[in-house]
Amino acid sequence: MRRLITYRGILCGKFRQVARLMGLFALASMLLSACAPMSQRPNIDEAAIKEEVKRQKEATVQSYLDHVKRAELIGENIRINSASLCPKKNYTLGLSAFSPVLQPDEWKGALHRIGYKDGLTVLTVAKGTPADVAGIRPGDFLVNVDGTPVTKDKEQIQKALVQLQQEGERKLVLLRGEEKLEVSVTSILSCDYPIDIIISDVVNAFADGKKVILHTSILNLAATETELAMIIGHEIAHNTREHITSKQVNKAVGMAFGAALEILLGVPGAMNIGADIGGGVYSQEFEHEADYVGLYYVARAGYDISQGPGLWRRMGASNPRSISHGSSHPATAERFIALETAVQEIKEKIASGKPLLPNERAETQVKRPSVSQSE
Ligand SMILES: [Zn+2]
């Protein structure tokens, strides 16, 4: 005979299940208490923990700003010295400025405590730039740009940052402690690829076509100024050589070809496979090109490029699988040798007084109409 299961019966069944589970948990916690630590530690002061949270946040923002300063000084040096090679340009005075107002709320308190006031503080001044020559120094507090006061207002701070990147002469008023400085600085050309720093323990750096994004872990790995310049130069080269757009176009072509196979021949999943194959085409070649072109940017900025390839030897040592196995990126041993060869090429150009320009393949050079000999 079929048994009729009522709503009440289901509820009672659930209740019994829950009661059984609770009993099991009670038994488990009794057993686990037998495995508890045996030492009697001193009591922890909750107020002291809160204070330590503050100290650790201060250490975090200080370390983040140290990374920003280091990357910004090297990045600015590269951007200015290779401005003529960059398709996307802007203007710079050679300084970077920082405001807690533009940072996430959770870091603002720590930034105030380590001395950053709301408003705009000069963070870095790259050597030999107009800001440096005008006597502006890190820590100067920017109070007026071209007659417009810089307040604590977010929009005004953003507007001032845009003004600092415009062509021509800027009239700045700065405070250095109690001292008031009034300076005129004229901007110079620069590559328009700003650097963003992300706090992350994943060793990574990438370019998105507009910016260079560096994880703090890769900044820790870059032991010397040249090594960090190599990383920044590589990512700027991805942007100047428009690798991101090329990859997206290749991906779209692969996807379209796969879609045709899927529709016309009924090949399942061909569209996604086509997109993956298309996106991966020339991937290693793009990486080699970014290494090669980036090395020229580093050389033009005056760094000792002979130290550069060493970065890949250490990258290989920290990730042994990458020594001889490449995937989207070439293997580290291959990158080391390719860079060493490029270092020789650049050194020969420097020795013979040739301009420091990457060699171009004949078919990628702009074709000019030939002049007929008979005319
Ligand atoms: Zn790359």
pLDDT band for 23, please (50, 70, 90 cuts): confident
Place of tokens 């130069």: 233
The larger pLDDT score, comparing residue 4 to residue 232, is at: 232
Domains of the chain: 51-81+89-191 (2.30.42.10), 203-360 (no CATH)
pLDDT band for 253, please (50, 70, 90 cuts): low
Cα 186 to Cα 10, 82, 83, 183, distances in angstroms: 80, 19, 16, 10
Question: In this predicted model, what pLDDT tens digit does every residue of 63-114 receive, in sequence order?
Answer: 999 999 999 999 999 999 999 999 999 999 999 999 999 999 999 999 999 9
Place of tokens 């078919």: 363
SS3 177: coil
Ligand 1 center–CA 144 separation, angstroms: 40
Ligand 1 center–CA 230 separation, angstroms: 11
Q: Specify the pTM.
A: 0.81
Ligand 1 center–CA 237 separation, angstroms: 9
On whether the CB atoms of residues 235 and 272 are closer than 8 A, the answer is no
| Burial (0-12, 13-18, 19+ Cβ within 10 Å), 352 | exposed
Beta-bridge partners for 205: 214
Ligand 1 center–CA 288 separation, angstroms: 8
**Dist. CA 351–CA 276, nearest whole Å:** 44
Ligand 1 center–CA 250 separation, angstroms: 17
Question: In this predicted model, what pLDDT tens digit does every residue of 327-360 receive, in sequence order?
Answer: 778 899 999 999 999 999 999 999 999 999 999 9
Q: Tell me what the mean pLDDT of segment 246-274 comes to.
A: 58
Residues within 5 A (CB) of ion ligand 1: 287, 290
The larger pLDDT score, comparing residue 67 to residue 367, is at: 67
